């Protein structure tokens, strides 16, 4: 254990499973005290108990501003500044998201509510918590917001592109307050979010074939860059995209 994050308090959304959980566990291993937050409060609490290190779980629905406010207040009431926030929670509505001519308004609105508005609310309250002290905010992006990888996922791709733009805007607005904002772009990563791909041999083979490193990503693949961005080692990095996609966006 190198403890590169010793003494830091970190909040991670979507931390009950997948990338969020792996990243939160990685922060704990590096010495941080982590608030595992998720709409699945029981899952977040279980993940925090498993990770140990003084971490704790909180129920947080990123689409509900009062829930976001309450979670941030609960962290601050524990007597800590909030040093890092990872805005990771999101949805991808497989079987519902579609090319625009076939996309139902309700699917669009649900995806925007979670991915874009939810990220906005998370970042808004992260910035408020960091105005006096500075800190690092990290957003989870997607190749679908950069190229044509998500052509059949109009809503998801649009929200991820919006997240990339949000990160740049906030980074520019608050750099003078010592708040850094960056985006990590994982490639196809096998988590519970993508079981409709990982469980279908043909779909899985097709997306792996578009990944130059020749394999799907794992949640652990994202941990290293997240630790770097959470640490003081990245003190001169803001407004940037960090791609961990196996080379997918080079094609």
Q: Counting Cβ atoms within 10 Å, is residue 175 exposed (0-12), middle (13-18) or buried (19+)?
A: middle
Distances, alpha carbon 99 to alpha carbons 62, 108, 112, 150, 210, in Å: 26, 11, 15, 9, 20
pLDDT of the residue at 198:
66
The candidate with the shortest Cα–Cα distance to 248, out of 121, 140, 158, 142, is 142
- Using 70 as the pLDDT threshold, list the residues of the chain that sit under it: 1, 193-195, 198, 251
What are the pLDDT digits (tens) for 83-118? 999 999 999 999 999 999 999 999 999 999 999 999
In CATH, 9-189+221-244 is 3.40.50.720:
yes
188 a catalytic residue? no
Domain ranges of the chain: 9-189+221-244
Catalytic residue among 156, 174, 188, 228: 156
């Amino acid at each position: 254990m190198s403890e590169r994050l010793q003494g830091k308090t970190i909040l991670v959304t979507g931390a009950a499973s997948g990338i969020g959980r792996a990243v939160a566990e990685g922060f704990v291993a590096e010495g941080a005290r982590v608030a595992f937050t998720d709409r699945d409060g029981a899952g977040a609490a279980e993940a925090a108990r498993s990770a140990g290190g003084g971490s704790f779980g909180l129920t947080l629905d990123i689409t509900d501003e009062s829930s976001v406010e309450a979670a941030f207040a609960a962290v601050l009431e524990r007597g800590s500044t909030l040093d890092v926030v990872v805005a990771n929670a999101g949805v991808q509505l497989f079987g519902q998201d579609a090319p625009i001519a076939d996309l139902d308004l309700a699917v669009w609105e649900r995806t925007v509510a979670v991915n874009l508005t939810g990220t906005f609310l998370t970042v808004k309250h992260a910035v408020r918590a960091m105005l006096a002290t500075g800190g690092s905010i990290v957003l989870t992006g997607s190749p679908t917001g950069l190229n044509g990888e998500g052509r059949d996922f109009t809503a998801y791709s649009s929200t991820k592109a919006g997240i990339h733009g949000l990160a740049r805007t906030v980074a520019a607005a608050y750099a003078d307050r010592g708040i850094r904002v960056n985006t990590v772009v994982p490639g196809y990563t096998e988590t519970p979010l993508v079981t409709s791909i990982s469980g279908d041999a043909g779909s899985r083979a097709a997306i792996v074939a578009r990944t130059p490193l020749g394999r799907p990503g794992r949640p652990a693949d994202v941990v290293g860059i997240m630790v770097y961005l959470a640490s003081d080692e990245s003190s001169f990095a803001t407004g940037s995209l960090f791609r961990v996609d196996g080379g997918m966006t080079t094609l």
